[in-house]
Amino acid sequence: APERLRKVFEELGPTFIKLGQMMSTRADMVGQELASEFSRLQDDTIPIDFEIVKGIVETELGKPLNEIFQSFEEEQLAAASIGQVHQAVLDDGTRVAVKVQRPDIQDTVEKDLIIMHHLADLINNRVSSLRVYNFPEIVDEFDKSIHKEMDYQLEARNAIKFQANFADNNGIHAPVIYEDYSTSLVLTMEFIHGTKMGEVMESPAGFDNKLLAERVATSYFQQILMDGFFHADPHPGNLYVLEGNVLCYIDFGMMGHIEHDFRL
């Protein structure tokens, strides 16, 4: 069943792939077997044509691209289901990463969510062997999280708050957000020079693994037990290691909150 479900999600497209990726991090909800199978899901998204990207950025920021940036790379750094990232340089020479949301993705997601809720209810009611996974609850959680993830202004505020929480910790970093160059559909942030945590895990030579493990653990203790505000999508692709074994979190679209009384 897990393998069949993964293949179905792949055929249904980007929104379902995104749901599967979320489920791969929630073994506590879906079980280790299904989580492991869904970890094989990868974004395989056709890049947005550069002219469309250019149009979105110019419309959102209100100026021609060459008046906003010193340079803007046409080739994307990454393309995913909700948006894609381009490298650019601001007028003052600052190197940045610009995340641009896909056109009409919000309408696509809304239609897919209707299908997801319907399928989840059907599975829960008619396939007794899959009832243990509680798909209606999973889709409800995904519905909330993907709406937050599509709001780049919210992501910007999350990143800024996270930075403030770790302002006194030189071992933890998050990309600087350039608010004057950001909207709900365009997010401009510091370009990160580093190594993905997944690559560090595969080839740890040259890194201080004990220190990195300590920084991951202590930073999460602080997020959950002290701040009540934590990164809710900490897979190895969203963690980078910078020079000096500095741990860098990226992608603040999904954040969790824990009330003060519950932390006590």
| Residues labelled as active-site residues | 233
Q: For 251, list phi and psi in degrees, rounded to 5.
A: 65, 90
Q: In 3-state terms, what secondary structure has residue 37?
A: helix
**Residue spans of alpha helices (H) in the chain:** 2-12, 14-24, 27-30, 32-38, 50-61, 65-68, 105-126, 135-149, 152-165, 197-202, 209-221, 260-263
Contact between residue 169 and residue 162 where contact means Cβ atoms under 8 Å apart: no
Residue 104: exposed, middle, or buried by beta-carbon count in 10 A (0-12, 13-18, 19+)? exposed
Report the C-alpha gap between 248 and 241 in whole angstroms. Answer: 6
Report the C-alpha gap between 56 and 43 in whole angstroms. Answer: 22
